[in-house]
Structures are given as C-alpha cells and as structure tokens.
Amino acid sequence: MDTRMTYCSHCGASDASFHDEECPRFQDPEACDRDLFDSLLTGSVKPVKSDGGSSSYYFLPKWATELRHVISYKGMSFARGNIFKACYRLGEKDGTDIKYDINKMRLFLDDLEEMYERGERV
C-alpha cells in the first residue's frame, strides 16, 4: 500500500477525497492562487500541519517561473523578499562574496524583527 501523501496540483490539498480534475477548483485553477493571496492580504493564513515531509506551502503556482513570482505569490514584504533572494543566490552575485549576502540577510532580518515587534505583517 502506498502511504505517501498526494496533493492536488491545483490547490495543494492533501485531502485524499479529491485531486486534480476532481478538485472543486479545477474549472478555475486561479481561484486557489486568489484564495491564498486574499488570505495573505488579510493576515488570515492558517498554519498547515506537517509531518516533516513535503507540505502544501511548498507548492508553487504553475505560472511561477522566477523568484519574483514566488515573492509576489506569497505576499512577502520587501524585507522578507530580500532575505529570500539573498538566500537563493548566496555567493552567486558577480562582484560580491558570500559575506555580502549574509550581511544583507542580517540587515533585513533586523527589519523583519522590528516589523514584527511593531505588529506589522512580516
């Protein structure tokens, strides 16, 4: 018996009762993205239970082909987006070294902490 978790490619649901073409949102695949975006804007994102394996929060919309798409899709703040980009390119930016990216991440982590303490969306 296959015990691996399966996920709907449209909404990331791990509910075994529907997947892919059976997904209630199959006729409108962008609805899943709109729902997530709306929840990010309102701050009503619900944590996803994880067993340490792949979880729905790691799935990307089919249209995401660059980091900027992922940053927008997840509704990242400027600081969070810059941390994400610096982590992704660590040591690969011409004319800089790894220390540059680490310093950039540290600067924006400080920003995130300040935003969090002020009660802002991070």
Residue-range domain boundaries for the chain: 1-62, 76-122
Task: For residues 57 and 116, give the distance between their C-alpha atoms in angstroms, rounded to a whole number.
Answer: 21
The structure tokens listed for 58 are: 């790691």
* pTM given for the model: 0.60
H/E element, 105: helix 98-117
The sign of the torsion formed by the CA atoms of 76, 80, 84, 89 equals positive
pLDDT for the residue 47 = 73
Residue 9 CA to its chain's centroid (Å): 15
pLDDT for the residue 57 = 73
Average pLDDT in the 81-88 region? 95
The sign of the torsion formed by the CA atoms of 18, 73, 61, 53 equals negative
**Which is more confidently placed, 8 or 85?**
85
Query: Would you say 86 and 96 are in contact if contact means Cβ atoms under 8 Å apart?
Result: no
pLDDT higher than 60, residue 19: no
pLDDT digits (tens, 9 = 90+) for 35-84: 555 555 555 566 777 777 777 777 888 888 999 999 988 889 999 999 99
> Distance between terminal CA atoms of the chain?
42
Q: Which pLDDT band holds residue 16 (cuts at 50, 70, 90)?
A: very low
pLDDT higher than 90, residue 112: yes
Q: 95 in the Ramachandran plot: left (φ > 0), alpha (ψ -120 to 50) or beta?
A: left
pLDDT for the residue 111 = 96
**Which is more confidently placed, 11 or 70?**
70
- DSSP letter at 93? S
